[in-house]
């Protein structure tokens, strides 16, 4: 009998890659998404796969799944500032009500649940690199707080279910991840730079460009998440690539990769934008025997090749997605 796994946010960037991974490992995958930020094209290739079932649903409403359920991966959430700043209440609801619904489902089905947390729980960190025992430096009432606090609450309620109900839980803290199926217009630095390069626009850096990020290719991220699900570790684990680079140096890498001749222009740094972001992955190495294997040059080439093949309408699509038709009044 195939094991059944529910993946929320299945039509999103990471969610769709997780669907592929679990199908390749001979699971029956139930994908769930309400398309508030997901894209049906990310799972179009799975529509005739007998090991894939899709349910269009908003997880902030009661979630009902018929039959046996062995695992749940909760990846439903806006994940880029351009999204969660535009739909702040929905972002808070999916991290709180959505997580509560899925924890309840896991309890009822006696399923193991893995929730997708984020490096944003560390806020603008005062500790570098960030280890799992660092409590973070988060502005609860700032514009980014809707995402940061949704994820911090998500971790808290997950651990409460683990301690009080004995639920099998796993928590992954995801650091910057990139690869094919990212939305070109989602506002994050890699698709933003690549989109600007493909359109012949100058590359925009916010702040002085000395802030740092660490980028993990999606295949490495998915492998880390998969190993964490099947580990016996219930506390948060950082999954990311610790190779750090400044945004200014990264912009120059993009110009070299894309063989364009764009200039770099500078704009004001957004409120509470973290100045440093680098995971300490010692714990993942120890308990999962995991570390990233795909270098940035290889991963960026694969990502750029994907973006180059996108239709022109996606290349020039507005930076602001219309969420109104997806939001319940």
Within 8 A by CB and 6+ apart from 44, the residues are none
For range 25-51, the mean pLDDT: 97
In terms of pLDDT, which residue wins out, 232 or 327?
A: 232
For range 207-223, the mean pLDDT: 95
Bridge partners of 246? 212
Neighbouring C-beta atoms of residue 285, cutoff 10 Å: 11
The pLDDT tens digits for 240-259 are: 999 999 999 999 999 999 99
Residues 102 and 59 sit within 8 Å (Cβ to Cβ)? yes
In terms of pLDDT, which residue wins out, 288 or 206?
A: 288
Confidence of residue 321 (pLDDT cuts 50, 70, 90): low
Q: Where are the domains of the chain?
A: 4-323
- pLDDT of 317 > 90? The answer is no
For range 209-228, the mean pLDDT: 96
The pTM is what? Answer: 0.94
- pLDDT of 273 > 90? The answer is no
Catalytic member of 71, 147, 217, 226: 147
Confidence of residue 50 (pLDDT cuts 50, 70, 90): very high
The pLDDT tens digits for 179-191 are: 999 998 888 899 9
How far apart (Å, rounded) are the C-alpha atoms in residues 125 and 180? Answer: 29
Confidence of residue 329 (pLDDT cuts 50, 70, 90): very low
- pLDDT of 143 > 60? The answer is yes
CATH of range 4-323; options 3.30.420.40, 3.50.50.60, 3.20.20.70, 3.40.50.720: 3.40.50.720
For range 64-87, the mean pLDDT: 94
Mean pLDDT taken over the chain: 93
In terms of pLDDT, which residue wins out, 324 or 286?
A: 286
Bridge partners of 33? 56
Confidence of residue 126 (pLDDT cuts 50, 70, 90): very high
Residues 37 and 78 sit within 8 Å (Cβ to Cβ)? yes
Confidence of residue 324 (pLDDT cuts 50, 70, 90): low
Confidence of residue 42 (pLDDT cuts 50, 70, 90): very high
147 noted as active-site residue: yes
For range 60-73, the mean pLDDT: 97
Helices (H), the chain: 13-24, 81-84, 88-93, 99-109, 145-165, 189-199, 218-229, 247-258, 282-288, 296-308, 312-315
Tell me the range of 151-155, 256-260, 271-275 where mean pLDDT is highest.
Answer: 151-155
How far apart (Å, rounded) are the C-alpha atoms in residues 172 and 158? Answer: 12
In terms of pLDDT, which residue wins out, 295 or 275?
A: 295
Confidence of residue 325 (pLDDT cuts 50, 70, 90): low
Q: Which of 124, 126, 122, 106 is nearest to 114 (CA)?
A: 106
């Amino acid at each position: 009998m195939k094991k059944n796994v529910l993946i929320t946010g299945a039509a999103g960037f990471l969610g769709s890659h997780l669907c592929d991974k679990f199908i390749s490992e001979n699971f029956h995958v139930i994908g769930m998404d309400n398309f508030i930020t997901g894209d049906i094209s990310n799972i179009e290739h799975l529509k005739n796969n007998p090991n894939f079932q899709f349910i269009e649903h908003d997880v902030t409403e009661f979630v009902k799944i018929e039959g046996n359920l062995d695992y749940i991966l909760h990846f439903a959430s806006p994940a880029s500032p351009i999204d969660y700043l535009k739909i702040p209440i929905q972002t808070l609801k999916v991290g709180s009500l959505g997580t509560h619904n899925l924890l309840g489902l896991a309890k009822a089905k006696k399923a193991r649940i893995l929730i997708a947390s984020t490096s944003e729980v560390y806020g603008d960190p005062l500790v570098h690199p960030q280890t799992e025992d660092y409590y973070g430096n988060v502005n609860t009432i700032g514009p980014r707080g809707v995402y940061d606090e949704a994820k911090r609450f998500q971790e808290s309620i997950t651990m409460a279910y683990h301690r009080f109900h004995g639920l099998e839980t796993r928590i992954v803290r995801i650091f910057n991840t990139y690869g094919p199926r990212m939305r070109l217009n989602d506002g994050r630095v890699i698709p933003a730079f690549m989109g600007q390069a493909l359109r012949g626009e100058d590359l925009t850096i916010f702040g002085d460009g000395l802030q740092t990020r660490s980028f993990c290719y999606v295949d490495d991220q998915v492998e880390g998440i998969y190993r964490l699900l099947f580990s016996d570790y219930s506390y948060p684990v950082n999954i990311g690539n610790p190779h750090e680079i400044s945004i200014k140096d990264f912009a120059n890498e993009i110009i070299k990769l894309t063989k364009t001749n764009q200039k770099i222009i500078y704009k004001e740094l957004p409120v509470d934008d973290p100045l440093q972001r680098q995971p300490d992955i010692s714990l993942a190495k120890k308990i999962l025997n995991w570390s990233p294997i795909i270098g940035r040059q290889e991963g960026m080439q694969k990502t750029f090749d994907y973006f180059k093949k996108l239709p022109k309408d996606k290349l020039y699509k507005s930076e602001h997605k219309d969420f109104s038709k997806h939001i319940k009044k």
